Structure 1
Amino acid sequence: MSALLEVKNVSKAFGGVQANSGISLEVPEGKIIGLIGPNGSGKTTLFSSIVGYHPIDSGSIRFEGSEISKMRVRQIARRGLLRTFQQTRIYGGMTCVQNMLISTSMRDQTLGRLFASQKSGEHGRAEELLEFVGLYQKRHLMAGDLSFGQQKLLEFAMALMNEPRLLMLDEPTAGINPTLINGLIDRLKHANTTFGITLFVIEHNMRVIMNLAEHIYCLAHGELLADGKPEEIQNDQRVLDAYLGAH
């Protein structure tokens, strides 16, 4: 399977702090890839670099074979590369359905498309995706009235609304009721297999990432520490020492 995303020797510093140093990794098309590491290891910085939130200092980021490291966020998003965030980015004063419809502005460059889109069949798709993530009954509630976990599910649905080729998820299970996590894992896998969306996932919950990802990269101190299949990472002493706190 060809690499949909290729990161080669990427480095990024903020002042005197080296957030990423010479990181190389690949996300093959159609796969679910994990990214783990302790707090401050550079995971979110790498995600932000990939989607264009800040320029890298050196290295290369290629999506579908094209260099994207100099592109703006919206240019990258229109190519089908999207991300979610640790802290959700929703519109609390709008209903869930309205949030779904306005999310397509990332694709079409105008917030005014919110109401025009309702006549194009996207309203129905919005409701279908809200049902998919378990929020259909709350579709007319203000998004700001949802729990934090429900807001994360809404953000996931908003990303799906844009039909991404690659969706990067930053801590998708954080803040979600533990009893609902298995259902979220199933939805992520379903998005991958049924919708054909490649997933690149930062996750601190080791049970989740071990059951979700086919290949896992581990960062520590801004550098790539290890990568391999879940069982390999789970038994890698370097990962245990750096991330799991084994002695």
Structure 2
Amino acid sequence: MTAILKVAGVSKAFGGVQANRNVSLEVEAGRIVGLIGPNGSGKTTLFSSIVGYHPIDEGSIRFEGQEISRLRVVDIARLGLIRTFQQTRIYGGMTCVENMLISSSQRDARLLDLFQARSPEREERAGDLLDFVGLYPKRKLEAGSLSFGQQKLLEFAMALMNQPKMLMLDEPTAGINPTLINGLIDRLKRANEQFGITLFVIEHNMRVIMNLAEHIYCLAHGELLADGRPEEVQNDPRVLDAYLGAH
């Protein structure tokens, strides 16, 4: 399979702190890939570098063969590379449908005019995706009234409104009620299978990532420590030492 994302020799420092050092990895198109590692291992920094939130110091980041390491966040999003965050970024005073309608990879810090964003096609797609994540009955409620887990589902649906080629999710199950986690895992897999969206996922919940990802990378101290199939990474002594602390 062809790699949709190639990270080669990427390094990033903040002052005297080396967040990432010579990290190289590939994400094949159409797959679900995981990124694990202990706190402070550089996972979120790497995600931020990939989507353009800060320039890298060294290396290369290519998306569908195009170098993106010097592009703006909004321009990377327009290419079809979308990211979600640990803390949801929704508009609490707007309804779920309104959040869906103003979600667009064509915006940066400015909101689309909601009137301009409305069209029969967009409203139908918003309803379909809210149904896909199980929020259709709550479509007219203000997003701020939803539980945290439901807000994460809304953010996931908002990301899908942009029809991404690849979706990067930072801790999608963090803070979610355990009863909602299985439903979220199922919807992530369905988005991958039905919509053909490549998923790259940071996740601390080992049960989740082992059941979700086809290939896993592990970072430690800002460097790539190991990678392979879930069962290989799970039993790698280096991972057990660095991440699980159980070897």
TM-score with structure 2 setting the length:
0.97
Q: Aligned residue for 2:20?
A: 20
Q: Aligned residue for 2:106?
A: 107
SS in 2 for 1:194: helix
Shift of 1:113: 4.2
Number of aligned residue pairs: give it.
Answer: 246
* Percent of aligned pairs sharing the same letter: 78
Rounded to whole Å, the distance in 1 between the matches of 2:148 and 2:107 is 28
Q: Aligned residue for 2:203?
A: 203
Kept after mapping to 1: 8 A contact 2:34/2:217:
yes
Kept after mapping to 2: 8 A contact 1:49/1:55:
yes
Kept after mapping to 2: 8 A contact 1:117/1:123:
no
Q: Aligned residue for 2:219?
A: 219
TM-score with structure 1 setting the length:
0.97
Kept after mapping to 1: 8 A contact 2:74/2:107:
no
Matched, 1:8 2:1: no
Q: Aligned residue for 1:137?
A: 137
Letter in 1 for 2:203: E
Q: What whole-Å deviation, never above 9, does each CA across 1:196-217 have from its counterpart, x for those lacking one?
A: 1000000000011000000000
Rounded to whole Å, the distance in 2 between the matches of 1:97 and 1:218 is 37
SS in 2 for 1:121: helix
Rounded to whole Å, the distance in 2 between the matches of 1:154 and 1:37 is 27
Q: What whole-Å deviation, never above 9, does each CA across 1:4-55 have from its counterpart, x for those lacking one?
A: 0000000000000000000000000000000000110000000000000000
Q: Aligned residue for 2:64?
A: 64
Q: What whole-Å deviation, never above 9, does each CA across 1:75-110 have from its counterpart, x for those lacking one?
A: 000000000000111111111110101112x23666
Counterparts of 1:19-58 in structure 2, within 5 Å, are 19-58=19-58
Rounded to whole Å, the distance in 2 between the matches of 1:102 and 1:139 is 14
Kept after mapping to 2: 8 A contact 1:37/1:218:
yes
Shift of 1:114: 2.4
List, as ranges, runs of 4+ consecutive aligned residues in structure 1 with deviation greater than 6 Å: none
Counterparts of 1:148-227 in structure 2, within 5 Å, are 148-227=148-227
Rounded to whole Å, the distance in 1 between the matches of 2:235 and 2:225 is 13
Rounded to whole Å, the distance in 2 between the matches of 1:111 and 1:241 is 46
Rounded to whole Å, the distance in 1 between the matches of 2:124 and 2:21 is 45
